[in-house]
A = this chain, B = another copy of it.
């Protein structure tokens, strides 16, 4: 694989000094063994499951991960008329590894790949570096970042091998409804396109009045679908490097398994055990409920913040995931600020970290998503609230007025 450019998002976060309120990432408040045990509905069993004193730390035979873990992952996709079995689950090295496994096993140089845009950068950069040509399926901010099926239809070529979607979506926090999923799969089926759905933020759904949408995996109509996920976001265990590819398609499964043996062989035994426990009936729902509570309170705070600053801030309030795509504008002219400069100045003046879209989510051309920043909202509420307060103060400061003036004269960077 030829050399990559820098991966902008982590590079941005890691390069900032003096962060006091970190709202640039997407990982919820961490869990320890102690907290897992306290959350568990059966603390004694969880304590036992997390005791590794006598565990032999050598790899056992197993080509797709432990059966116990795969059973728990399969259960995450229960509840529709599609049956997902442990056999359909392939354990990988977090979602990063699961996405790599999917792309690397399916794509060859010359393949055409369509990817949602904006999007988490590796979802189009890895296919690109594997020699695929990429077309961006632009989401529409004027329509709450909803993707247009007509647009997708127009992007398909005879060489289109894969469609990459991210659901819930990072950075916008929006969702593909069940009917939108069906329409996508119908189109994919007609053109024999493999659908790769990164569902790392599933099941973080925030609407209380509508039922949670299914996984892209849960449609009986089409099985050339690879869904990826992990413990990193919804389960607050990103240091446990366990992720998964799930597919019901036998050919996709065989090629994933073959590549897994060459490039991964096995994942951490202890991490597999922790993951199986975190996803067990004892722990799964309490972990999710804890994070949902943070999200629920923080989204109410975000609503209030947007209402208080209508001329300087705009956002589609997220219905899924852990991040909102928030636009900052000059209150006088309504024009977007230079988001990189905004994030830098905000950081210097307030210690609040946001991630600038122009740097971290724009690839097509400079100025895509100008003014937008990514804001993480599944953190502890006291931190989130303090962050919004400091941003609010900043928006009323002379520094912000100066920045708005500068943004207009400097143009895009």
Residues on A lying within 8 angstroms of B by beta carbon are 1-7, 10-11, 13-14, 27-28, 30-34, 52-61, 63, 93-94, 96-97, 100, 104-105, 107-109, 122, 125-126, 129-131, 232, 236-241, 255, 258-259, 261-271, 274
With most chain B CB atoms within 10 A of its CB, the pick from A57, A60, A105, A236 is A57
Q: A1-B130, A55-B32 are in contact. Are A239 and B266 (CB under 8 A)?
A: yes
What separation, in Å, do the CA atoms of A100 and B262 have in the docked complex? 9
- CB distance B125 to A262 under 8 Å? yes
Q: How many of these chains are in the complex?
A: 2
> What B residues does A240 contact at CB under 8 A?
57, 268-270
What separation, in Å, do the CA atoms of A263 and B5 have in the docked complex? 13
Q: What's the minimum C-beta distance from A103 to chain B, rounded to whole angstroms?
A: 9
Q: What's the minimum C-beta distance from A177 to chain B, rounded to whole angstroms?
A: 30
Q: What's the minimum C-beta distance from A36 to chain B, rounded to whole angstroms?
A: 8
Main secondary structure, interface of A, reads loop
Nearest neighbor of A22 in chain B, beta-carbon distance: B61
- CB distance B32 to A264 under 8 Å? no
Q: A27-B58, A58-B27 are in contact. Are A262 and B7 (CB under 8 A)?
A: yes
Nearest neighbor of A96 in chain B, beta-carbon distance: B265
- CB distance A30 to B58 under 8 Å? yes
> What B residues does A126 contact at CB under 8 A?
262-263
- CB distance A258 to B61 under 8 Å? no
With most chain B CB atoms within 10 A of its CB, the pick from A11, A125, A237, A271 is A271
- CB distance B30 to A57 under 8 Å? yes
Among B34, B94, B238, B270, the residue within 8 A (CB) of A54 is B34
Q: Name 14 extra pairs, CB < 8 A, besides A33-B57, A59-B239, A96-B265.
A: A1-B105, A1-B259, A5-B258, A10-B261, A14-B63, A31-B58, A32-B56, A32-B57, A33-B55, A93-B97, A125-B262, A240-B268, A241-B241, A241-B271
